[in-house]
Amino acid sequence: MKYIKNNTLSNKTWVGAVISAGSYYGIEIGEEIDWANDSELLSDIGSGDALVAEDSSGTTDITDVNSAINFLKNSLPAEINQGPFATKTILVGGVRKSLFKRVHGTSATITAGQTGNIDFTIPYTACKFTGANIFGVDLEDTLNFKIMDTATNAYSGAPTSPLPNYYPSIQINQFGFDVEMPAGGVYENTSNYDADLYPGMIVRCEYTNNGASDKYISMNLWLHEVKG
């Protein structure tokens, strides 16, 4: 595993993860490509604000910039060279894994003129997210589609208190931004590439009901469990 150290005196955010001053972040399987190609992180490695390390002991920090970037970019996971997603298998750390489609539904009643959350908590050790259906939508309504951390911020490492600056389940990614809903009651969106999700992460549809009456909004998620 590769680690990123925040080598400053304040919190830093890279690839959606908030890392406390002086703390390390372990790059999970499936995240390596995003971290190795994040321009802000690479710039901060160059300035010394971020360090790359082999572990979080404090004894393996790579202080030479070229060596640090080479280590970060080398030995990227085999997913880079994997076959089409439809082959139903992928390589993770050199190990062949199988994919199993899992469709999950959830719902919430959104009050007229208000914004409400429709949440689903990931139950799998690892899975891929490729799309969703939203039912009950109306023209002029909008939504944001977000990925939230666990209740303990296990992935971002962000503190959970004190409020309001710190809180549980901090946002770590976002796929939809003020997306305008169509007429007809159904909105669907898919991606040509998959997103990696891990246990306890929350998929959140933040729905704004701009109508005059309450609405029952339901969501189906298209997940693909990764199993060895």
Q: What is the 3-state secondary structure (H, E, C) of the chain?
A: CCEEEECCCCCEEECCEEECCCCEEECCCCCHHHHHCCHHHHHHHHHCCEEEECCCCCCCEECCHHHHHHHHHCCCCHHHHCCCHHHCEEEECCEEEEEEEEEEEEEEEECCCCEEEEEEECCCCCEEEEEEEEECCCCCCEEEEEEECCCCCCCCCCCCCCCCCCCCCCEEEEEEEEEECCCCCEEEEEEEEEEEECCCCEEEEEEECCCCCCEEEEEEEEEEEEEC
pLDDT of 225 > 60? The answer is: yes
- pLDDT of amino acid 83: 44
Banded pLDDT at 163 (limits 50, 70, 90): confident
Out of 76, 108, 139, pick the residue that ends a domain.
76
Note the pLDDT tens digit of each residue in 100-114: 889 999 999 999 999
Q: Do 72 and 100 share a domain, yes or no?
A: no
- pLDDT of amino acid 96: 72
Q: Do 113 and 157 share a domain, yes or no?
A: yes
Q: Which domain holds residue 126?
A: 85-227
Q: Do 194 and 90 share a domain, yes or no?
A: yes
pLDDT of 19 > 70? The answer is: yes
What is the average pLDDT value for the chain, to the nearest integer? Answer: 87
- pLDDT of amino acid 139: 96
pLDDT of 178 > 50? The answer is: yes
Domain count for the chain, please give it: 2
- pLDDT of amino acid 157: 86
- pLDDT of amino acid 220: 96
Q: Do 97 and 69 share a domain, yes or no?
A: no
Out of 76, 101, 130, pick the residue that ends a domain.
76
Q: Do 105 and 154 share a domain, yes or no?
A: yes
Note the pLDDT tens digit of each residue in 179-217: 999 998 999 988 766 788 999 999 999 999 999 999 999
